[in-house]
Amino acid sequence: MSEKKNELSADHQIEREGVLWTDSAASEDFVPHIPREEFDLRIATAKKTMALHGIDAMVLFSYDNKYYYGGYRESNIRYSHRWRHCLIISQAHDPVFVGESVLSNSVRRTTWIKDVRAWSQIKMWRLPLRFIDVFLDTIKSMRLDGKVIGMEYGPEYVLEVSIDEIREIERSLPNAKFVSADRCVWEQRMIKTPWEID
C-alpha cells in the first residue's frame, strides 16, 4: 500500500477500502460505447426531427434513450433518487448530461458528451446538493426556460425519475411549454442507421 494512504480523508469510502484514485477507474482509457460518427449522426438527426415537431429540447430520463442519444450505459444504481440524472438534447447546444457526481467519470470515459453538470449529496465536494437545482440552472443557462421542452410522457419508457420530480420540473419552469417527445424519438429510432444494422 502506498504511503499516500496517510494523506487520505478518513470519511471517503473508496479511500477507506484502500483504493487510491490513481488505481481506480478514473485512470482507465477513453472507451466509448458508440463510434463518434454514430453519435454525431444521432444528435444531428435528433435536432432535425425536433425542428420538424417544434421542439427546442428533449429531456431524457429513460435508460434506452440516454443510451441511444448519448451512448451512456449505467449500473443498477440508476433508479434511486440518490443518483438522479438526465440527458438534455437541444437544437442550439451540444448534448448536456446532468447527474450525480459519481457518474461523471463514467460519462466522460464512455461517451462523447463533453458538457457534464454535476450535483452531489456529499457536502465536501462543494457541489449543489440537489439534482433539481443543477437541472434548472442548466435549462436557464441554455436559455430553454421559455422554450418548448419535450419529455418522455409515453408508456414505452421505464423512466428513472418520479412523477413528483417531473411535476416539480414543470412547476419550476412556468414559461416553458412541456410537450411529449415520443413521436420525435420514435420517428428517429424506428429508422436504423447502418451502424445499428451491422
C-alpha cell at 114: 463533453
Give the integer Cα–Cα distance in Å for 116 and 105: 9
* Residue 14: per-residue pLDDT: 41
* Residue 158: per-residue pLDDT: 77
Domain boundaries, the chain: 34-197
Task: Walk along the chain (198 residues) in steps of 10 and give the mean pLDDT of each run.
Answer: 44 42 54 92 98 98 93 68 86 94 83 90 75 94 98 86 93 98 96 92
CATH code given to domain 34-197 = 3.40.350.10
Class of residue 84 by CB neighbours under 10 A (exposed 0-12, middle 13-18, buried 19+): buried
Sheet hosting strand 57-60, strand order edge to edge: 115-119, 96-100, 85-90, 57-60, 148-151, 177-180
The reported pTM is: 0.81
Question: In sequence order, what E strands does the chain have?
Answer: 57-60, 85-90, 96-100, 115-119, 148-151, 177-180
Cα torsion angle, 188, 142, 92, 115, sign: negative
* Residue 12: per-residue pLDDT: 39
Q: Hey, which residues does 60 pair with through a beta bridge?
A: 87
* Residue 138: per-residue pLDDT: 95
Cα torsion angle, 168, 122, 128, 93, sign: negative
Residue whose C-alpha is closest to residue 94's, from 69, 119, 63: 69
Alpha-carbon torsion angle 131, 12, 74, 141, nearest 10: 30
